[in-house]
Structure 1
Amino acid sequence: MLAAPIPDNDKERLAALRAMLILDTPPEERLDKVAQFAAHEFDVPIALISLIDENRQWFKARVGLDVCETGRDVSFCAHAILQPDIFVLPDSRADERFADNPLVTGPPHVIFYAGAPLAMPSGYTIGTLCLIDHKPRQLDATELAILSSLRDLLVEELTNPAEAPHG
């Protein structure tokens, strides 16, 4: 297993993530709905909004996964945040970076992974909107476009969160 390299700008990226005051916060219905929609739209058992800090990936929203975080060293999303666009692994068992990853060889048995990097207007990528399946698969051009649009909407929501209703 090859851990993802640390981005050159990781110190600044982490500062931008911390400034958002989103890590370790309670679930938010609007973000949970994004993960639920992604799982349904792509017919995957697991969909996550994952944020990458120094040592872990923490799940702000999750469908189909009981844990709320995993180590950054085993994180697929830590690889995805290094990409300029959607990172797709049709079959992680066939990729030397992931074949012996404990998330592949054991629960949750990540075989297919697609991660759309959450690049914020600040220029820093804080995490991903990701899809996981227990079997190999591909995304076609239409599905990639839908995932990209969903990611863009999510970035907009994270950048300009809805204000709490006044009462």
Structure 2
Amino acid sequence: MLAAPTPDNDAKRLAVPHALLILDTPPEERFDKIVAFAAAEFDVPIALISLVDSDRQWFKSRFGLSACETSRDISFCGHAIMRTDILVIPDAAADERFADNPLVTGDPYIRLYAGAPLILQSGHSPGTLCLIDTKPRQLDELDLAILSTLRDLVVKELSNAMETSDG
């Protein structure tokens, strides 16, 4: 298993979710609506807004998953935040980077993972909007465009929260 990497700018990146005052906060309808829509639109059992902290990924909003967090070491989102484009893993069980990951070999049995990094104006990504399926599958260009648009909605909400907390 390939452990989630740590970005070179992780200290600055980690300041973002802490500045948002959003870690470990109750669910919010604005985020819950986005993940519920994503799950329905893509017909996936799990959709999440995940914030990657120093040692965990915490789910600000979740659809189809009871866990509130997992270790950063095994997180798929920890890989996605290193990118500017959407990380798509069509079949995690067939991908040598993830095949022995406990999230693949055990509950929730991830096969498809698609994580859109939430890149804020600062250039830092505190987390992802992600889709998870228990069946392998591909996403096409239209799927990626829709996921990107939904990601932009999450980023807008996070940016608004930052402005409010600064204000």
Range into which the TM-score falls when normalised by the shorter chain: over 0.9
Secondary structure of the corresponding residue to residue 47 of structure 1: strand
CA distance in structure 1 between the partners assigned to 2:145 and 2:15 by the alignment: 30
More helix by share: 2
Provide Cα deviations, 1:111-155, integer angstroms capped at 9, x if missing partner.
100000000111110000000000100111111000001101110
CA distance in structure 2 between the partners assigned to 1:134 and 1:10 by the alignment: 31
CA distance in structure 2 between the partners assigned to 1:31 and 1:25 by the alignment: 12
Partner of 2:96: 96
Partner of 1:118: 118
Secondary structure of the corresponding residue to residue 48 of structure 2: strand
CA distance in structure 2 between the partners assigned to 1:85 and 1:63 by the alignment: 23
Residue segments in structure 2 that go unaligned for 5+ positions in a row? none
1:5 and 2:10 are equivalent in the alignment: no
Provide Cα deviations, 1:36-67, integer angstroms capped at 9, x if missing partner.
00000000000000000000000000000000
Secondary structure of the corresponding residue to residue 126 of structure 2: strand
Amino acid at match of 2:106: G
Provide the TM-score with structure 1 as the length reference. 0.95
CA distance in structure 1 between the partners assigned to 2:63 and 2:150 by the alignment: 16
Matched ranges for 1:1-167 at <5 A = 1-161=1-161
CA distance in structure 2 between the partners assigned to 1:138 and 1:78 by the alignment: 21
Percent identity between the aligned chains?
A: 69
Secondary structure of the corresponding residue to residue 119 of structure 1: coil
CA distance in structure 2 between the partners assigned to 1:158 and 1:79 by the alignment: 20
- For residue 96 of structure 1, report the CA deviation from its aligned partner: 1.3
- Tell me the number of residue pairs that the alignment of Structure 1 and Structure 2 aligns: 163
Secondary structure of the corresponding residue to residue 108 of structure 1: coil
Secondary structure of the corresponding residue to residue 123 of structure 1: coil
Amino acid at match of 2:126: I
CA distance in structure 2 between the partners assigned to 1:83 and 1:131 by the alignment: 16
- For residue 5 of structure 1, report the CA deviation from its aligned partner: 1.5
Secondary structure of the corresponding residue to residue 16 of structure 1: helix
